[in-house]
Amino acid sequence: MTCSTLYTALITPFQEGSLDSSGLQSLIERQLEASVPGLLVLGSTAEALSLTSQEKMEIYHCARAQWTRKSLMVGCGSHPTQRAIEECALYTDADALLVACPSYSRPTQEGLLRHFLTLADKTSVPIVLYNHPKRTGVNLEATTTIELAKHPQIIGIKETHFANILPLTIHLRETSFSVMTGNDNEAYAGALLGTTGTISTLSNLLPRDMLSLMEAALEKDYRAADALYKELAPLMEQLDQVSNPIALKAAMEHFALPSGSPRLPLLPLENTLREKLQHLLDLCFANSLSAF
């Protein structure tokens, strides 16, 4: 299996604090209509740490029922390693599992190596590594990823530590291992360095534009990619002002898309930033970004 060019890291819509099931179905259908090739549920954008076990399973089964002919990735895994194995076993019908480095415990590189190799040996679904040092407190170094890429069950990485991108693409270029960026503002630059795609938050709001950007970049149509990136970059920057998905949910709410406020400990976007974001959104859509 190879990973898709673009995965949308889907938000979890809430309504009065509860899971908005019909809103979730609507968001998935919107991604299908935009021809997005991959969907990620239960990631950090989905506020997975704030979901109950029952909610997680409902989201997973809803996505699997709708997302039938395209790649479905599910965020899972925790620590200790045995608990991560048990969690991964819940999603046997997924196409891939996105597994982050264990947070807070800050294992050594050897500990990370053994953790992921143990998971890969015990899990039937292909694994995509997720390196996000800002969230987990530990960096999965490029040399460790290159070693993990030798395992047939470990098929890719969502890499948010940009310094790792070039060594990964250089060493893994001739393999089937997928190196994907995990920050929207680095997706185009990553493609220039040889990544195979991206896992995007902005594509919740603008799936067609993000797909067009990645396709143009990977096809080396730099004129089209440059133009798209210039239009999208201010919005990417604005959405990154606070912890994801606070600003993203405010943007989706602005266009009456299912969203709802994030759950505590995250708070809704404060008014000053909300006003700036709304002004930018109206300006972007008054120009040439895709309409709803």
> Annotated catalytic residue: which of 91, 130, 188, 229?
130
Cross-strand pairs, 129: 99, 157
To the query of whether residue 222 is one of the catalytic residues in this protein, the response is: no
Residue 118: which H helix or E strand, with range?
helix 109-122
Burial-class residue 226 by CB neighbours within 10 Å (0-12, 13-18, 19+): middle
> Annotated catalytic residue: which of 7, 56, 60, 158?
158
Burial-class residue 95 by CB neighbours within 10 Å (0-12, 13-18, 19+): buried
To the query of whether residue 91 is one of the catalytic residues in this protein, the response is: no
DSSP, collapsed to helix, strand or coil, labels residue 67 as coil
Task: Give the Cβ contact number of residue 151 at 10 Å.
Answer: 15
Are 217 and 198 spatial neighbours (Cβ–Cβ below 8 Å)? no
Catalytic residue list: 130, 158
